[in-house]
Each structure stands twice: as structure tokens, then as C-alpha cells.
Amino acid sequence: MIPEELRYTDEHEWVATKTDDLVRVGITEYAQNQLGDVVYVKLPDVGDRVEVGAAIGEVESTKSVSDLYAPLSGEVVAVNEAVTEQADLLNSDPYGEGWLFEIRVDDPDALDGLLDADAYQAVTTG
């Protein structure tokens, strides 16, 4: 199931709009299924400036290590410390308690350039 209200990236991250210029980011159900059991998460620091497409963290599973990418440019304003302490939240609740970080975006209109649920579905099946 791919939540309709979210936006997505080709790197299997979801983006939820919190306010006009604030977004919350996590990895998708598809991503956590591909990763397997997540054992470690490295997140950016609050205050970090991130540029769209840049590697800003990583997720390590029993299968592999995968980079996390900034879906939009801006400033990291919050990180979910719970996932750094309990990485399996990414497996058990990727769209809820397993969120990763929040960004105050430089250009709120850039959100329109991300994939909608239908386009993301095509990425996962294509």
C-alpha cells in the first residue's frame, strides 16, 4: 500500500508536508522490504544544510548499507532520535514512528517535482 497523501522519490523515500515550508521524510514500505531487518540508522544533524540529491545519512540492514538522500534542499530542523536507538521502527512502522528527519525547505514549490503515489507505484513495479 502506498499512501496517496505523500510524495515520493526514486530513492524510495516519502515526503509528508507538515506546513508550507516544513516536510517530514522517511523510507517507504517498499524500501524497508528490500532492505530486510534494519539494524542501524545514521541521520543528519539538526542545523545541517542539505542539497537535493545529496547523501545525508545511511540505513544499515542485515543485507546491505544504503544511503539516505535529501529529497529537497533546506535545513534539517528535527531528527527522529527513536530510530537511531530502535532502528527496527523502520521495519515495523515506516510511515509513522519510523520517520527519519524534517527539513525546512528552501523552495516549497519543489515538492511538486516529487512523485505522486501513482508514479511511485510505477517505480516499484517497473
Rounded Cα gap, residues 72 and 111, in angstroms: 7
Report the SS3 class of residue 19.
strand
Q: Determine the Cα–Cα distance for residues 49 and 78; give it in Å rounded to an integer.
A: 12
Residue numbers of the domain that contains 57: 7-107
**In 3D, which of 53, 71, 59, 51 has the Cα closest to residue 9?**
71
Q: What is the pLDDT of residue 1?
A: 82
| Cα 2 to the center of its chain, rounded Å | 14
Residue 112 lies in a domain: no
- Residue 119 forms part of a structural domain: no
Residue 123: inside a domain, yes or no?
Answer: no
Please give the tally of structural domains in the chain: 1
- The CATH number of the domain holding residue 86 is 2.40.50.100
Query: Is 74 part of a structural domain of the chain?
Result: yes
Considering the domain boundaries, does residue 113 fall inside one?
no
Segment 13-24, tens digit of pLDDT: 999 999 999 999
In angstroms, how far is the first alpha carbon of the chain from the final one?
16
For the whole model, what pTM was predicted?
0.96
Residue 120 in any domain: the answer is no
Q: Is there a domain that residue 98 lies in? A: yes
Beta bridge partners of 69: 55
CA dihedral for 101, 60, 126, 52, sign (positive or negative): positive
pLDDT in tens, 44-74: 999 999 999 999 999 999 999 999 999 999 9
What is the model's pLDDT at position 52? 97
pLDDT for the residue numbered 126: 74
80 within domain boundaries: yes
Residues 75-107: pLDDT tens digits? Answer: 999 999 999 999 999 999 999 999 999 999 999
